[in-house]
Amino acid sequence: MELVKQIAALIGAQLEGLTVEEIEKLLETPKNVELGDVAFPCFTLAKIYKKSPQLIAAELAKQLKGVLIIKAESVGGYVNLFYNQQTVAKLVLEEILKDPNHYGQLPMKNEKITIDFSSPNIAKPFSMGHLRSTVIGNALANIAEKNGYKTIRINHLGDWGTQFGKLIVAYKLWGDKEKIEASPIEELLKIYVKFHEEAVSDESLNDKARAAFKHLEQGDEEARELWKWFKEASLKEFQGIYELLGIQFDSLDGEAFYNDKMAIVVKDLEERGLLVESSGALVVELEDMPPCLIQKTDGATLYATRDLSAALYRKKEYDFAKSFYVVGNEQSLHFKQLFKVLDKLGYGWAKACQHVPFGMMLKDGKKMSTRKGKVVLLKGVLEEAIQEAKRGIEEKNPSLPNKEEVAKSVGVGAVIFHDLKNHRMNDVEFSLEQMLNFEGETGPYVQYTHARICSLLQKGNFDANNVSLEGLKKETWQTITTLQRFPQVIQKSFEQVDPSLIAKYCLTLSRHFNKYYAHTKILVDNDTKVSKLTLCYAVAIVLKEGLNLLGIEAPEQM
Ligand code: ARG
């Protein structure tokens, strides 16, 4: 059994009023090692027992010493516990080694989670902004799986909407078929930008675009052909990015997929008396927020209408226990409205839908926008990162086998980690230089720590079938308690929908290990060599798993 669970059970045996699970959730890691290895706050109990937390802590402290706990102190309403290091070290390592690929894996729950992420817009470049959704969503899906859920990764492509009316009009006015075929997104973006420039002085363009989209919605042949062509060409380009990132989806059903599924929703809303006419358009009025627009004056549907039918479809198709939408914070209102309308329709599962917002990708402190052409293309960034990684390899390790592959893992890993190491709500300043800084708090630093361990294991002829857990010294302690925390971090990162906890954990583990490594000779033949290598092996397992959860590869050499 995991250590924290054992500790929670020990405390639980002394208490009434809290379950072992509740106790486990309350356990904290003290800020400072001098304060102990784990702390149990007694404030919740004070209310139940009607006694001061200090008193409860003092009484508990007297009872908790035993095989696992060598010392228990009560300090300001907390019981601070100190582990018996030898016993705990063994326990933790045994837990990792018993089933290396599954350390921290929670039992399967037989519940599904749909994760709507990436969801770029067709005929527009895959921007750095979409990178955020892609890497956060993918990490979240991995984390959910590790927490025992089955996931359905959905790329809700932006392949429908008035912008296609604009594109069709722009194409007919200024499009060049050959140029578009040669580099679709670049050319489509050009005419899209031109459309917006021209529309400033020529208002009729917007009317034409609205009409063109209407035609498209009604199935006009020419409009549909153009749309299909735009979509296929764009998808091909996006696919290249997903391949670089190593990301796959279970569904690519975008907005267009719901075109023939919206009438039912509109009818449903109407039958429940929720649709109201508002200067020709149909809306659902909401109490504490602006109304949700369902249908425009000309009968055209909207982003929200498509999201409504998508939500219904997903519930029916997948019967999700939770449904995540990994979309920028600027769409918060949209999702509030969406969930509220579902709630008004009487769907109890509206509560299971959750917007997972994130901050903006900024350039020189300002938001990036596609329309003005002020956008940094993700593909270029990834390619540059890979180039940079390759230069690093040529310099430090020119004889490395499969250089190309390693450069890809490191370059792409750098970009992903740069995004995930901060809490998702923080804005991220786009800085190629910072991403590519392979030292400091970066993905490559963690990857490098892992690779260094792999090489140690090889040089030391370590055999995973012949391990030892005896005689580990005090200086391994920080590494061991960090290893022990991994399962909790996995659970927390899911509960808080926060992959940065995993990224920060990887940095902490790397730091503790590197400190240990700097002060200890591992490859000397003495009676603790195998034990030391066993510890190294456990660290490598956990670092690799941590990186993989973030969607980053862990090369064995670099
Ligand atoms: N395509 C949209 C955009 O780039 C994001 C879609 C997010 N998903 C959703 N179900 N609305 O802004």
Atom 4, ligand 1: residue with shortest CA distance: 120
Pocket test for ligand 1, best of 131, 156, 334 (most atoms within 8 A of CB): 156
Please report, rounded to a whole number, the percentage of residues in the chain having pLDDT higher than 70: 98
| Residue 376 in this model has a pLDDT that exceeds 60 | no
CB neighbourhood size of 232 (10 A)? 11
Show the tokens assigned to 81: 């516990």
- Across-strand partners of 283? 276, 293
Distance 307 CA to ligand 1 centre (A): 9
**Residue 386 and residue 354 share a domain:** no
- Could you read off the pLDDT of 394-425 as tens digits, one per residue? 999 999 999 999 999 999 999 999 999 999 99
Q: How confident is the model at residue 308 (pLDDT cuts 50, 70, 90)?
A: very high
User: How distant is the alpha carbon of residue 257 from its chain centre?
Assistant: 25
| Residue 233 in this model has a pLDDT that exceeds 90 | no
Alpha helices in 35-127 (DSSP H): 43-49, 53-63, 85-98
* DSSP-derived pairing of the beta strands 69-75 and 78-83: antiparallel
**Residue 132 and residue 275 share a domain:** yes
- For ligand 1, whether the C-beta of 253 sits within 6 Å is no
- For ligand 1, whether the C-beta of 325 sits within 6 Å is yes
537 falls within a domain: yes
Lowest mean pLDDT among 290-299, 405-414, 504-513: 290-299
* DSSP-derived pairing of the beta strands 322-326 and 353-356: parallel
Distance 422 CA to ligand 1 centre (A): 22
Atom 5, ligand 1: residue with shortest CA distance: 119
* DSSP-derived pairing of the beta strands 112-116 and 150-154: parallel
Range of the structural domain that residue 443 is part of: 378-550
| Residue 102 in this model has a pLDDT that exceeds 50 | yes
- For ligand 1, whether the C-beta of 121 sits within 6 Å is yes
Atom 6, ligand 1: residue with shortest CA distance: 119
- The helix (H) or strand (E) run that includes residue 73 is strand 69-75
End position of a domain, from candidates 83, 103, 138: 83
Distance 158 CA to ligand 1 centre (A): 6
Cβ distance 135 to 174 under 8 Å? no
**Residue 132 and residue 184 share a domain:** yes
- Across-strand partners of 324? 115, 354
Q: How confident is the model at residue 372 (pLDDT cuts 50, 70, 90)?
A: very low
The whole-angstrom separation of Cα 550 and Cα 140 is 8
- For ligand 1, whether the C-beta of 323 sits within 6 Å is no
User: How distant is the alpha carbon of residue 288 from its chain centre?
Assistant: 30
247 falls within a domain: yes
What is the atom index within ligand 1 of the atom nearest the CA of 310? 10
The whole-angstrom separation of Cα 419 and Cα 395 is 26
- For ligand 1, whether the C-beta of 82 sits within 6 Å is no
End position of a domain, from candidates 367, 398, 426: 367
- For ligand 1, whether the C-beta of 307 sits within 6 Å is yes
CATH number for position 34: 3.30.1360.70
The pTM score is 0.92
Distance 389 CA to ligand 1 centre (A): 32
- Over residues 40-62, mean pLDDT: 93
Distance 159 CA to ligand 1 centre (A): 10
96 falls within a domain: no
- The helix (H) or strand (E) run that includes residue 541 is helix 529-550
End position of a domain, from candidates 61, 83, 105: 83
- For ligand 1, whether the C-beta of 327 sits within 6 Å is yes
92 falls within a domain: no
| Residue 244 in this model has a pLDDT that exceeds 60 | yes
**Residue 174 and residue 316 share a domain:** yes
3-state SS of the chain: helix, strand, coil percent to 5?
Answer: 60, 10, 30
* DSSP-derived pairing of the beta strands 366-367 and 361-363: antiparallel
Cβ distance 245 to 134 under 8 Å? yes
**Residue 255 and residue 223 share a domain:** yes
- For ligand 1, whether the C-beta of 338 sits within 6 Å is no
373 falls within a domain: no
Inter-helix orientation angle 162-174/184-201, to 10°: 90
Cβ distance 185 to 233 under 8 Å? yes
Distance 237 CA to ligand 1 centre (A): 18
| Residue 379 in this model has a pLDDT that exceeds 80 | no
Res 369: pLDDT = 58
**Residue 294 and residue 145 share a domain:** yes
464 falls within a domain: yes
Pocket test for ligand 1, best of 114, 118, 119 (most atoms within 8 A of CB): 119
What is the atom index within ligand 1 of the atom nearest the CA of 307? 10
Buried b (16+ CB within 10 A) or exposed e, 7-19: bbebbbeebeebe
Res 72: pLDDT = 95
Distance 337 CA to ligand 1 centre (A): 14
Residue 283: phi and psi, rounded to 5, are -135, 160
Residue 42: phi and psi, rounded to 5, are -105, 15
**Residue 145 and residue 79 share a domain:** no
The mean predicted confidence, pLDDT, of the chain is 92
**Residue 252 and residue 141 share a domain:** yes
**Residue 265 and residue 336 share a domain:** yes
What is the atom index within ligand 1 of the atom nearest the CA of 157? 1
Buried b (16+ CB within 10 A) or exposed e, 472-483: beeebbbbbbbb
User: For the sheet containing 322-326, what is the strand order?
Assistant: 150-154, 112-116, 322-326, 353-356
What is the atom index within ligand 1 of the atom nearest the CA of 130? 4
**Residue 400 and residue 325 share a domain:** no
Contacts of 404 (CB under 8 A, 6+ apart): 390
CATH number for position 403: 1.10.730.10
47 falls within a domain: yes
Number of independent structural domains in the chain? 3
93 falls within a domain: no
**Residue 289 and residue 267 share a domain:** yes
Would you say the C-alpha torsion 478, 479, 481, 486 has a positive or negative sign?
positive
CATH number for position 289: 3.40.50.620
- For ligand 1, whether the C-beta of 116 sits within 6 Å is yes
- For ligand 1, whether the C-beta of 119 sits within 6 Å is yes
Distance 327 CA to ligand 1 centre (A): 6
Pocket test for ligand 1, best of 130, 132, 292, 327 (most atoms within 8 A of CB): 327
Cβ distance 430 to 361 under 8 Å? yes
**Residue 499 and residue 440 share a domain:** yes
Distance 316 CA to ligand 1 centre (A): 21
The whole-angstrom separation of Cα 168 and Cα 46 is 67
